[in-house]
Amino acid sequence: MSLDGIRRYIVLFLVLVFLSACSSSSNLTPKPSDGKSLVQVDIDWDALLGVNIEPSTLSVGAINTHADTIGARLVYPNENAAFTQAVSRQDAATNSILTFEVPVTNQAHLYLVAVNMENQTAYSYAMAENLRLEKDSVASMTIDDFQWIEATWVFEDNDYAASIGSGRIELPFGEHEVITRIKVRDPFQEGKEASYDTSLIGHYGISSMRENIDGWLHFDAYLRNQFPGTPNTDNYHWFQPNVDGIQFNLGNKGYYILPVIKMVTVEWK
């Protein structure tokens, strides 16, 4: 073969390699089905430790240390529709991808919750609101595209906070019930009418739901004396807030919102 022939062969080979690479890259590019929209969230598990979370009493990174699963809820407020998805960290993987293939809409809200599946605890929420999902489009997002919020609850009054927090409390035996006011961080339905039927926040124990103000859902939690007028000791599954897992494709169970108080012993005396 002549020198010119060898050169032509090399050029042709390089062109074929280039075209093959372009074809392979295009096959890796996600595409929605006709008329649909694709939403993809790149979950960087290491970066999750450094997101800016508000409000928080813990250092940045301390909150999501034990999170191994992200549950997601994509809400269409105008169509009264919602789609759910979840992804878990696989072994030593550094990234996971949450994917939704959904109808187009002019307004969508994407909510996330970071949980640990084993200890059944929720650590943080995330929000990206007012998304526009267009036909045949791909919305690529990362955790930096979300507002991250600590999943927590606090006592509104401190009359019984320390005792209930320790798991043991003394109360007058003549009382029929004692009411403690608490508030749970709930940014998903801020300003909306509070309802047990529609809330993404559940709980164990006895309570009445009040209102959601500034992203805090308010409750009255009850300790009821089974034998008023008689000294007695009783154990209670006291008010313990949780994230409703089924709303985020995390199974039909609740994920504890910190701090966790599973049982309270009351001495009515």
Q: What is the pLDDT of residues 57-73, one digit of tens each?
A: 444 445 777 899 999 99
Q: What does the pLDDT read at residue 24?
A: 33
Block residue for tokens 């940045």: 60
Q: Where are the domains of the chain?
A: 1-29, 31-150, 153-268
Q: Identify the burial level of 180 via C-beta atoms within 10 angstroms of its C-beta, where 0-12 means exposed, 13-18 middle and 19 or more buried.
A: buried
DSSP secondary structure string, 146-161?
A: SEEEE--EEESS-SSH
Query: Hey, what are 241's tokens?
Result: 């807030």
Q: Could you read off the pLDDT of 89-123 as tens digits, one per residue?
A: 987 789 999 999 999 999 999 999 999 999 999 99
| Residue 115 CB coordination number (10 Å) | 27
pTM, full prediction:
0.82
CA atoms within 13 A on the CB side of 216: 14
pLDDT of residue 243: 95
Residues 6+ apart with CB under 8 A from 37: 101, 102, 103, 104, 105, 133, 134, 135, 136, 137, 138, 139
pLDDT, position 64: 75
Name residues of the chain where pLDDT drops below 70: 1-29, 54-62
CATH number for domain 31-150, candidates 2.40.50, 1.20.120, 2.60.40, 1.10.3470: 2.60.40
**186 token code pair:** 């709930």
Query: Domain 153-268's class?
Result: mainly beta
Structure confidence at residue 21 (pLDDT):
39
Instruction: Spell out the alpha helix ranges (H) of 69-221.
Output: 161-166
Topology alike, domains 31-150 and 153-268: yes
pLDDT in tens, 33-46: 778 999 999 999 98
